[in-house]
Amino acid sequence: MPRRRQAEKVPDSRLVPVAIYTRVSTDNQVGGRFDSCESQASICREYVRKKAPEGWYEVACYTDAAYSGGSMDRPGIRALKRQIEAGEVRVVLIFKLERVLRSTDEWVPFRSFLQKHGCRLESATEDISESTPSGRLKNNLLMSVAEYERLNTAEKTRAKMLQQAKQGIWNGGWLPYGYAYDPKTQVLSPDPVEAEVVRRVFAEAAKFVPLQDIANALNAEGLRTRERELKRHDGKMEKIGGRIFRSDGLRLILKNPIYRGFIRFGGKEYPAKHEPLVSADVWDRANAVAENVKENPKPRIIDRESQTHLLKGIVFCGACKRALMPHESGKKSREGKRYRYYNCGSVQKERNLGTCPVGRLPADALEAVVKEFVTRLSQHPDVVSAVMDSSEKRKKLDRPSLIKETEAMQRELERVKKHLKNSMDIAIAGGLEMVSESFKERVAELEQQRHELTVKLERKRNEIVACKAADLDQKRVLSALARLGEIIPKMSFQEQKELFRLFVERIDVNRTRGRAEEVCRLFELKLKVQLPRLVEGVTQKNTQELFARGIVDRGVVFGTTADFSKAAYGEVKIVVPFMQAVRTSTGSTAREEVNSVKEHPIRLAVKWQHELEKGDVLDRVTLARKLGVSPSVVTKHLKLLQLIPEIRDFLAGLKTTTELRRYSLNRMYRISSLPASKQRTLFSRIQN
């Protein structure tokens, strides 16, 4: 907070708002050290008190504890820049120049940033004035020396870690699950309890058991991940871990070469001194199977979207190749239900609806089309027959080439194993202590080749099995599709979701191409369906055996085109490969949100600017604190006031959601800093 009392005797025109910035690089410097952030801030505040007669007063103190000086991407620096942009800081006071950064690449842009906003950098312990050419030269030299020290230290650390890895010594970091560490001997040793869990995970994975099933079994027995203590950037200790096992965590365990007695560093693996928990053969087998077998299609976590969006995780944008993410609007319909959508990942993250041809789709309409299309396929056997014939031809063509690739890989694997055996025989005959570093590297390369070939070979074998497996006739498939139409209305939402995740592998959605006025709401859907799973699922047989064998059909693709132009009215129409009208669960109520009355952010900007001019709040930071938002939000809104009057008046009159989305805050913010002529040009493009 500003220290106004110290500057009361100084005229307002001479007041100098000062922001203090402190930083340390490591956790060890957080606390009571002489160069800690607290000590730096104390020295800077004493310097401010000495400068109080000149109008200096502190407005803020920003700290980056345990952050490297190699980059300016730090929370404290970002907050400091926002306040400088708001015009509320004229001096940035630091302990030493190296506390700001240690990178010559970012030094010049940061100096230019300060000059652009009328701010200067000063140190409480060094003369870093740049009023003369010699001062600028001195600062450049100081920055070069600081960068050299940082890079030199990093290079020495990497060299030391490489030598330790070559000697088979663990380089530190998170202690691997399954091992204990003795600081005296500096060697990993198997943990009595955790080591057995690791061996069990590898053994089960090597038998084609899905990782989610392994995790569920461990969790049912009350086993949990290891609890650890983590020191946060503010110096406080935080306990993490102690949670249930998940399939992604088990996959990381399977991929870690430390469990087969190797240390990975710099993309290479080196024989380690610690005892391996599993043999190389079990490790290779488990990795090959785990990377190839699909997981049991059950939701890993339960959240709001998973309970309201039927196609979550299996529907994708065909244009951006990103997932269509579930989204619920804040507003509710008259029935008290939230409006549901599927947003392309690029739209949801970048907040720009115009960048993606798919953009946003109403969830009710998309889900209704998928369900109706799949269940209606049984009434169109010619469509199913054509797709199945194409799939069978592809399998027949693929199988011979797969067999040839498998045989070639098998020969290559035998060759690598022979070289490995010869190398080990030479090493044993000559004495392991006499083996050169280059020889060790060669052995490590051969070991890596052996592992990669084992994984690839297992994949190819499974693909061959998939080509042979589940030869389904058209009659059984049509029967299963017809059965879908009977059982889906009787199933709960969760049962429907599990069934679709069982046999629908992927749905790609894209706009059709053509004249925009004719196809602006026509969308192509490509459904990749696993027919064996479909038959198993609708006949209510046990599907676990299908997954346990590791046999997964390569999938067939059904395509359809649907017209979404009347989706807001509760109607969607399938137009290809057959005509079928589909009613959605939302009718005219879907239009409520489209026509809902809101206001553009320009109105908030005018209101906030009025408060600042009246003196109701001291500055933008205080206003942001009062509103419960970040200062950057206030700055972005107030930036809209730089738009030319005609654009401001137009924006102030917008009310509907569609209009507000088209002239969004981010879009208007980007053109607000441009000259008036360019503002008019870009704005006219948005209107058209």
How sure is the predictor about 234, in pLDDT bands with cuts at 50, 70 and 90? low
**Whole-number pLDDT of residue 551:** 41
- Give the pairing of strands 120-123 and 580-583: unpaired
Question: Is residue 449 within 8 Å of residue 457, measured between CB atoms?
Answer: no
| Residue 532 · residue 546 · CB < 8 Å | yes
How high is the pLDDT of residue 601?
Answer: 87
Q: Please say if the pLDDT value at position 26 is more than 80.
A: no
Amino acid 344: pLDDT: 87
Q: Can you point out the beta strands (E) in 199-283?
A: 228-231, 237-240, 262-265, 268-271
Q: How does DSSP assign 47-105, residue by residue? A: HHHHTGGGTEEEEEEEEETT--TT-S--HHHHHHHHHHHTT--SEEEES-GGGT---HH
- Give the pLDDT of residue 635: 85
HSE-CB at 263 with a 13 A cutoff on CA atoms is: 24
Q: How far is CA 253 from CA 196, 229, 261, 341, in A?
A: 13, 20, 13, 36
Which of 28-42, 122-136, 144-158 is predicted least confidently?
A: 28-42
Most confident by average pLDDT, 205-209, 231-235, 502-506, 587-591: 502-506
Q: Between 620 and 35, whose confidence is greater?
A: 620
Greatest mean pLDDT range, 167-176, 356-365, 543-552, 658-667: 356-365
Structure token pair of residue 622: 């205080």
Give yes or no for residue 684 having a pLDDT over 90: no
Q: What pLDDT does residue 391 have?
A: 63
What is the pLDDT at residue 366? Answer: 92
pLDDT at 590: 40
Confidence band (pLDDT; 50, 70, 90) for 430? low
Question: What tens digit of pLDDT does each residue of 90-104 get?
Answer: 999 988 888 888 888
Lowest-confidence segment of 159-168, 181-190, 386-395, 488-497 by average pLDDT: 386-395
User: What are 454-500's pLDDT values in tens digits?
Assistant: 777 777 776 666 555 445 667 777 888 888 888 888 888 888 888 88
Q: How confident is the model at residue 516 (pLDDT cuts 50, 70, 90)?
A: very low
Instruction: Indicate whether 174 pLDDT > 90.
Output: no
DSSP state, 36? S
Q: What is the reported pLDDT for 525?
A: 92
The predicted pLDDT at position 435 comes to 59
Helix (H) or strand (E) holding 665: helix 665-672
Q: What is the pLDDT of residue 47?
A: 92
Helix (H, G, I), strand (E, B) or coil at 146: helix
Whether 598 has a pLDDT exceeding 70, the answer reads no
Question: In sequence order, what are the beta bridge partners of 323?
Answer: 316
- Has residue 19 got a pLDDT over 90? yes
Q: Is 627's pLDDT higher than 50? A: yes
Q: Which of 400-414, 497-511, 541-555 has the lowest mean pLDDT?
A: 541-555
Residue with more model confidence, 164 or 179: 179
- pLDDT at site 546: 40
Closest CA to 248 of 197, 195, 301, 203: 301
Read off the pLDDT of each residue in 664-684 and give the average, rounded to a whole number: 86
Q: For 105-109, 346-350, 572-576, 652-656, which range has the lowest pLDDT when averaged over its residues? A: 346-350
What residues have CB less than 8 Å from 484, skipping those under 6 apart? 374, 375, 378, 534, 538
Q: Is the pLDDT of residue 246 over 70?
A: yes
- Average pLDDT of the chain, as a whole number: 78
**Confidence band for 119, pLDDT divided at 50, 70 and 90:** very high
Asked if the peptide bond before residue 577 counts as cis, ω within 30 degrees of 0, the response is yes
683/423: higher pLDDT: 683
Q: What percent of the chain has pLDDT over 70?
A: 80
pLDDT tens-digit readout, 314-373: 999 988 888 888 888 766 666 667 788 898 887 766 655 556 888 888 888 999 999 998
Q: How far apart are CA 144 and CA 146, in angstroms?
A: 5
Instruction: Report the pLDDT value the prediction gives residue 397, as an integer from 0 to 100.
Output: 60
Q: What is the C-alpha separation between 557 and 506, in angstroms, rounded?
A: 9
In this structure, are residues 101 and 150 in contact, taking their beta carbons and an 8 Å threshold? no
- Whole-number pLDDT of residue 672: 87
For the chain, the farthest-separated pair of C-alpha atoms sits apart, in whole angstroms, at: 94
- Is 90 exceeded by the pLDDT of residue 140? no
Report the first-to-last Cα separation within the chain, whole angstroms: 47
Q: Does the pLDDT of residue 295 top 50, yes or no?
A: no
Does residue 289 surpass a pLDDT of 80?
Answer: no
Q: Which amino acid is at 365?
A: A
Alpha helices in 431-530 (DSSP H): 437-468, 474-487, 493-503, 516-519
> Element (H or E) spanning 369, and its range?
helix 363-376
Residue 383 burial (CB < 10 Å; 0-12/13-18/19+)? middle
What's CA 140's distance to the chain center, in Å? 37
Lowest mean pLDDT across 132-136, 437-441, 538-542, 663-667: 538-542
pLDDT of residue 50 exceeding 60, the answer is yes
* 451 has a pLDDT exceeding 50: yes
209 and 285 in contact (C-beta within 8 Å)? Answer: no
